[in-house]
Structure 1
Amino acid sequence: MAKPSDQRHEALAGLLGLGTHSARKSHYPELLARLEELETERNRYKWLFEHAVHGIFQASLYEGLRAANPALARMLGYSDPHEVLWTLTDLANHLFVGGEAELRVIRDQLREHGGLFGYETRLRRKDGSHIDVLMNLLLKPDEDGLVEGFVADITERIQAQQRLQTLNDELEQRVAERTRELEALNQQLREARDAAEAANLSKDKYLAAASHDLLQPLNAARLLVSTLRERPLPEAERTLVERTHLALEGAEELLTDLLEISKLDQSAIKADIDTVCVDELLVPLASEFQSVAQSAGLQLRVRIPKQLAVRTDMRLLTRILRNFLSNACRYTERGGVLLAARRRGTRLRLEVWDTGMGIPADQLQAIFLEFSRLDSGRAAERKGVGLGLAIVDRIAGILDCPVQVRSQLGRGSVFSIEVPLAQTVLPGPRAEAVLRPVTGDPLPGRRLLVIDNEESILHSMAALLGQWGCEVVTAVDAATAVRELDGRVPEVILVDYHLDHGETGCTALKELRKHFGQVPAVMITADRSDECRRALQSIGVPLLNKPVKPGKLRAVLSQLLNGV
């Protein structure tokens, strides 16, 4: 009869699948293999636990640490993991820097969320120092209050962050200090700039005053010498007069160029773009340089398209063309000069041709530099300082119009500038008027009024105009002019812009026209400012700059008197 104990063993053997001896014998190798696998897995996890780089521990929410690996012990400064198996009270006192309060927060988070990941905190080491760690804590759901944790030492990372923050703070401080230094330097620069602008303004005023004071006696001398040049003189005296004329002309060009390039360098000259009739632009230039070319033994020819207009600043473009014509007459020994305009699509090319000595190819760009001169031909007799084409280059830049030059040695040169054509066509004087001779006609017998506050200029102007056959009345202001005329009406009024006692040529002309009607007038001034130019534009009076060129004066008077 079987014993009860045998029955229990059989039941357990049946539960395990080993109910009979044969069954035990057949399943034993498989069970042994399973047990060996479990042992191998346990040993592997044990090896990982003991040799892990980061700290690993197991703890109870109610009792404290149950197990810890060597890495956690070393991290906290202990040699044996058993030394860190603290109770809850010891954890609060010996491990967490935050003490009981931090431990309470950790327990609440685990109970509420079942885990705490990426939690950064500070732990206390055995020697009392602190380390920064990153914890991942997991509350095992099937075991009451059992927590498994993983701890990584992030002290170096935190220290690096702190060093980086310190460097950032230092950098911000240095930037702030540098900013304050730059602001102080900028303030100094602003003060220096203001001082420089004030000095430039003072210099501009000085140049304006100096130019007026210098050009006044120079103008008188030029007029007197021009009067002598037109008189029959012995050969020796004529030679002296011609040399004086050349010297005064050189002084005038030098002073005028220095003043103008100074204004250009200070960006004091601005373009006033308007629609300009080509005839209105070129006819006065041709009339002015006709006598210049004749006195040099040259022929001036003109080719001007009819009924064309351009968009430009007439004053600045005239300055460029006048330089081209002046150089052409100066550097040409024989032959002639051609002033021409050629249409090129939407632009008009204004050209000045000469039959002079030409320019070497290696100097075609250098001639536009300051103080560049060609010492050849007639120019050798009256050298300038080489600023003319430098002024042309700057003015062309202001107008945004290209200047070109072509030349052949021994055959001549061509200087040109292209300007945009206007859409509308303005009526202007006919080009045939250019070829009108500028002799004494129509000047003889004409009554001219000259107003200037400089007695020397009045005497010089009276001598020149009187030699041209004019009846000349001179005065220093409008009131004196009315008395001197004594009811006689002048046919042309020549008036200086700056008069005494704050009076200007504009106010004097307005007063005279109240007495004599709309008499043609010419304004003469050494003032080259934009303010003066705008004032004259508003009353529509032609302008002659001092020193006055006799040829240009004769041409302007002839045009005005032909219209009377």
Structure 2
Amino acid sequence: MPNEFHSMATADAIAAEQIKAFFRETNAQNLAGIVILCLLALLVESLVPWWTWGPALALAGGVTVWRARGIVAYHRAPSSRTSAQWGLGQTLGAALNGTAWGFANTAMTAHLPLPYQFFILTVAAISASAAASEGFAYFRPSRAFICTSLIPLALWYLLAGDQLHLILGLMLGIFVPVLLWQGGKRHAAFNESLHLRFKNEFLARELAHQRQIAEEAGKAKAKFLASASHDLRQPVQAIALFQELLRPEMTLTAKGEEYFAKAQQAVGAVSGLLSALLDVSRLDASTLKPQHAVLSVGDLLNDLQREYGPLAERKGLELRVVGCRLCVDTDAMLLGRILRNFLSNALQYTPTGKVLIGCRRRGQNLHIEVWDTGIGISEADQDNIFEEFVQVGNQHRDRQQGLGLGLAIVDRAARLLDAEVSVRSVPKRGSCFAISLPISDAAPSKRPLRTSADGISPYDLDNRRIVVVENETLIRDGLHSLLENWGCAVISGDSGASVLAQIEELGVEVDAIISDFGLSETESGIDVVGYLRAHLGPNLPALLMTGDTSEGAMQAAAESGLVLLHKPVRPWRLRQTLCALLSGTGKDSAG
């Protein structure tokens, strides 16, 4: 057992439980003892001198009253004394009571004929047995009573001088240790039950403590990731904006083009990491609720084939998709994210061979499975591959092999869908990842329009007047210049009041607002949009940009009904969203 379990506090708690159980049982036994001794004296008082029972009865009566008062005091205020003090008082009382019994029984037996001697012996043995039974919780008072009540009587029988009394004395001498031994066993069993109880309570508290530590560590990790993510997103956003502005202005050699492409690749890698962290934050946040609908699995598999077929072909792999006519009840976006992560991993970790995606019906559930002939995963690694930043076969953290967040996202998305994810794998032979979802017999819901960059109709931004509110100077300047390059007239500032003053000075109308979410401690992007709409019109299109991935930020944006884009926002994504807002097709979203 842990050392903490053997602490003094635990020992005191066990002692307190022993005393509590003892006092719960001892009152009736205490009163029964004096009643039996009185009846015994009444039975033989005409046959023996008064001094053989009178003093003993007086002592036993006084002790009974004293013990009864102690019992009442304990029940009123058990914490007024220590467990040792309560126990000592009852042990002393039991020893005095036993002395009275031992003296009376021995003195009366010496003056009684044999039949009465047997009767007194029987009563004494039964009383001692009852005391042993009573002492299962706290055995010291019972032990004191047994020894002081029976040993004098046993000695008298041993010294009586005839064979019968000698044998009875020997039997009584054997009976006393056997009774003590049996009482000790019952007490030990009770003690063991207390030890097990307190051990279980300790383990339960320890488990709760460890769970609390784990939860606090998880919160600290989430807070650190959110803080680091926010601090990194701001400069990365500025770099992305100025890269977009810089490229048309440069004339580079072939080497320069190569270097610039690598710089863009590095910024893309950082953006990819931040986007993956954002996905994890979103899935951890309670604001993300699955939008269940009936989905045609066949349509989704066809989309995946079109999306990943060219990548498989470039790697020299065969991507085979087995069609499916069944429908499932799920969130299409979350299921798509899960299957895309399965396919990305399968293509990444399969040097040669093929990747297959198909379905198996299992009762009322459909298993959507992704098989590959890749490097496989050892059984030991299968337990932790769904943790953040865990990558099999990438000990040197080669960023070309991904970030190790894909399966962590899968795990969180599956838990939101209340779906079971499973993995089977054999090293050097391949793996199978699967998700199980309930089959639906209803007709599939109407599929939403695709929202990729290629699916957005171009919208003329020439002469559109856009307000930019951003407290980071580099990002504000970058947005201002980028929008001007797109043909917009731009008014920018670091607060709602500063841009409104410019608008009123120019006397112009505004077409849309782009605002940072966390401008200052006293003003948020939501406040700015509300402030400008109050002066310029309640239906003025607006979107928010933020580097804050916290649950609170996403909740606030969702409640405001504003579009929320998470930094770093790629220029094409910003233009796509702005065009959708200006054309009236924009909708509440987070991206």
TM-score (norm 1): 0.55
* 1:496 maps onto 2:516 in alignment: yes
CA contact under 8 A between 2:349 and 2:374: conserved in structure 1? Answer: no
Distance 2:282 2:115 in 1: 81
CA contact under 8 A between 1:124 and 1:130: conserved in structure 2? Answer: no
Shift of 1:224: 2.0
CA contact under 8 A between 1:208 and 1:527: conserved in structure 2? Answer: yes
CA-to-partner distance for each residue in 1:181-200, whole Å, 9 max, x for gaps? Answer: 99889888877876776666
CA contact under 8 A between 1:449 and 1:490: conserved in structure 2? Answer: yes
**What aligned pairs does 1:509-524 form with structure 2 within 5 A after superposition?**
509-514=529-534, 515-524=536-545
CA contact under 8 A between 1:451 and 1:494: conserved in structure 2? Answer: yes
The one-letter amino acid of 2:237's match is: N
CA contact under 8 A between 2:423 and 2:434: conserved in structure 1? Answer: yes
The one-letter amino acid of 1:527's match is: D
Distance 1:480 1:474 in 2: 8
Distance 1:478 1:406 in 2: 56
CA-to-partner distance for each residue in 1:200-222, whole Å, 9 max, x for gaps? Answer: 65554444333212211111112
CA contact under 8 A between 1:250 and 1:384: conserved in structure 2? Answer: no
CA contact under 8 A between 2:368 and 2:434: conserved in structure 1? Answer: yes
Residue of structure 2 equivalent to 1:253? 272
**Partner SS state of residue 371, structure 1:** coil
* 1:526 maps onto 2:547 in alignment: yes
The one-letter amino acid of 1:520's match is: P
The one-letter amino acid of 1:442's match is: Y
CA-to-partner distance for each residue in 1:304-343, whole Å, 9 max, x for gaps? Answer: x9xx9955496x557546757977999999xxxxx99999
Residue of structure 2 equivalent to 1:372? 391
**CA RMSD for the aligned pairs?**
6.2
CA contact under 8 A between 2:420 and 2:436: conserved in structure 1? Answer: yes
**What aligned pairs does 1:451-530 form with structure 2 within 5 A after superposition?**
451-486=469-504, 487-514=507-534, 515-530=536-551
Residue of structure 1 equivalent to 2:409? 391
CA contact under 8 A between 2:350 and 2:373: conserved in structure 1? Answer: no
* 1:217 maps onto 2:231 in alignment: no
**Partner SS state of residue 466, structure 2:** strand
Q: Cα–Cα, structure 1 residues 394 and 427, in superposed 2: closer, same or farther, change >3 Å?
A: closer
Shift of 1:414: 11
Please tell me whether Structure 1 or Structure 2 has the larger radius of gyration of its CA atoms: 1
Distance 1:310 1:213 in 2: 39
* 1:99 maps onto 2:108 in alignment: yes
Q: Cα–Cα, structure 1 residues 363 and 95, in superposed 2: closer, same or farther, change >3 Å?
A: closer
**What aligned pairs does 1:124-523 form with structure 2 within 5 A after superposition?**
128=156, 153=171, 155-169=173-187, 201=219, 204-229=222-247, 233-234=251-252, 235-257=254-276, 272-275=289-292, 311-312=330-331, 320=338, 323=341, 360=374, 362=376, 368=385, 370-372=389-391, 382-402=400-420, 430-431=448-449, 437=454, 441-445=458-462, 446-486=464-504, 487-514=507-534, 515-523=536-544
CA contact under 8 A between 2:106 and 2:156: conserved in structure 1? Answer: no
Shift of 1:116: 9.9
Shift of 1:499: 0.8
**Which sits farther off after the overlay, 344-353 or 243-252?**
344-353
CA contact under 8 A between 2:294 and 2:445: conserved in structure 1? Answer: yes
Residue of structure 1 equivalent to 2:570? 549
% identity of equivalent residues: 28
Distance 1:228 1:351 in 2: 45
The one-letter amino acid of 1:251's match is: V
Shift of 1:171: 6.7
The one-letter amino acid of 1:537's match is: A
Q: What count of residue pairs does the alignment treat as equivalent?
A: 429
CA contact under 8 A between 2:368 and 2:435: conserved in structure 1? Answer: yes
**Partner SS state of residue 261, structure 2:** helix
Distance 1:212 1:99 in 2: 94
**Partner SS state of residue 391, structure 2:** coil
**What aligned pairs does 1:57-72 form with structure 2 within 5 A after superposition?**
none
The one-letter amino acid of 1:162's match is: L
CA contact under 8 A between 1:278 and 1:310: conserved in structure 2? Answer: yes
The one-letter amino acid of 1:553's match is: L
CA contact under 8 A between 1:489 and 1:516: conserved in structure 2? Answer: no
Q: Cα–Cα, structure 1 residues 371 and 535, in superposed 2: closer, same or farther, change >3 Å?
A: same
**Partner SS state of residue 544, structure 2:** strand
TM-score (norm 2): 0.53
**Which sits farther off after the overlay, 493-502 or 364-373?**
364-373
More helix by share: 2
CA contact under 8 A between 1:438 and 1:558: conserved in structure 2? Answer: no
Q: Cα–Cα, structure 1 residues 532 and 501, in superposed 2: closer, same or farther, change >3 Å?
A: closer
Shift of 1:389: 2.9
Unaligned runs of 5+ in 1: 1-61, 65-92, 132-149, 299-304, 334-338, 408-412
Residue of structure 2 equivalent to 1:23? none
Residue of structure 2 equivalent to 1:560? 581
More strand by share: 1
Shift of 1:506: 1.5
**Partner SS state of residue 153, structure 1:** helix
The one-letter amino acid of 2:558's match is: Q
CA contact under 8 A between 2:370 and 2:434: conserved in structure 1? Answer: yes
CA contact under 8 A between 1:312 and 1:399: conserved in structure 2? Answer: yes
